Amino acid sequence: AQSVTQPDARVTVSEGASLQLRCKYSYSGTPYLFWYVQYPRQGLQLLLKYYSGDPVVQGVNGFEAEFIKSNSSFHLRKASVHWSDSAVYFCAVAPNVGDNSKLIWGLGTSLVVNP
Amino acid sequence: GGIITQTPKFLIGQEGQKLTLKCQQNFNHDTMYWYRQDSGKGLRLIYYSITENDLQKGDLSEGYDASREKKSSFSLTVTSAQKNEMAVFLCASRDRDQDTQYFGPGTRLLVL
């Protein structure tokens, strides 16, 4: 069955440190992959997405993610985090190429950035 | 830009009560979604709709009804609220061209 795993429920880093949030997926075909962010008491917002081509995709606010097919991973990275990056981050995969109306979601990783 | 509005923001109900949550979007998107968000369980899809009057069950549809009478609105009904239930219900709509879901701020449910 298709699934998305975010192995870290919570990550704590200091402001200015680099960040990696892990995401692994299980999918038999070529995946479409997404990262969304949820700030406190808000809905989710798209950070970035990958369809094909360059495996490193850039998103908003300095975030990027790298698709590594051999590892079935799509980890999110940021070179230097800010306290305002504290939020919950969700990885998701579209299970049906050509029909992305449904996404399979990971459980999310709560990021805490200490000032 | 557009916006998704969810009402009410907070909903307190009694066990066994039927409760209705409403969602409006002015993006003119075709597809809309209802998700349930529980702590530690991520997002679970309850219902979605790909056009007016269409309804598709998600993984968590049991115990819920939905209605899409207009393109801009999508309602969710909890048919019988469960005691001590606490969750956030998120509505979203999808921009097919950008392949992006846009979310509302959520309705927080507490059942006493």
Residues B69-82 pLDDT 10s: 999 999 999 999 99
Say if the Cβ atoms of A102 and B45 lie within 8 Å.
Answer: yes
In this structure, how many other beta carbons lie within 10 angstroms of the beta carbon of residue A91? 30
Closest Cβ opposite residue B42 in set A32, A101, A106: A106
**Mean of the pLDDT values across residues B57-86?**
94
Residue B69 lies in domain? 4-111
In angstroms, rounded to a whole number, what is the distance separating the alpha carbons of residues B33 and A16? 37
Total domains in the fold of chain A:
1
Whether B94 contacts chain A with CB within 8 A: yes
Which residues of chain A are within 8 Å of residue B106 when distances are taken between CB atoms? 41-43
Whether B3 contacts chain A with CB within 8 A: no
Say if the Cβ atoms of A102 and B105 lie within 8 Å.
Answer: no
Residue A66 lies in domain? 3-114
pLDDT value at residue A22: 98
Tokens 């449910």: give the residue.
B109
Total domains in the fold of chain B:
1
Tokens 């479409």: give the residue.
A32
Q: Which one-letter DSSP state was computed for residue B67?
A: E
Tokens encoding B25: 């979007």
In angstroms, rounded to a whole number, what is the distance separating the alpha carbons of residues B59 and B63? 11
pLDDT value at residue A63: 97
The two most distant CA atoms of chain B are separated, in Å, by: 42
pLDDT value at residue A96: 64
Helix (H, G, I), strand (E, B) or coil at A61: helix
B63: left (phi over 0), alpha (psi -120 to 50) or beta: left
Q: Which one-letter DSSP state was computed for residue B82?
A: P
Using the predicted structure, report yes or no on whether residue A1 has a pLDDT greater than 80. no
CATH number at residue A14: 2.60.40.10
Tens digit of each residue's pLDDT (9 = 90 or more) over A65-96: 999 999 999 999 999 999 999 999 999 998 76
Q: Do the beta carbons of residue B111 and residue B87 sit within 8 Å? A: no
The dihedral of CA B86, A85, A91, A43: what is its sign? Answer: positive
Say if the Cβ atoms of A45 and B45 lie within 8 Å.
Answer: no
Q: By percentage, how much of chain B surpasses pLDDT 70?
A: 100
**Mean of the pLDDT values across residues A95-106?**
75
CATH number at residue B38: 2.60.40.10
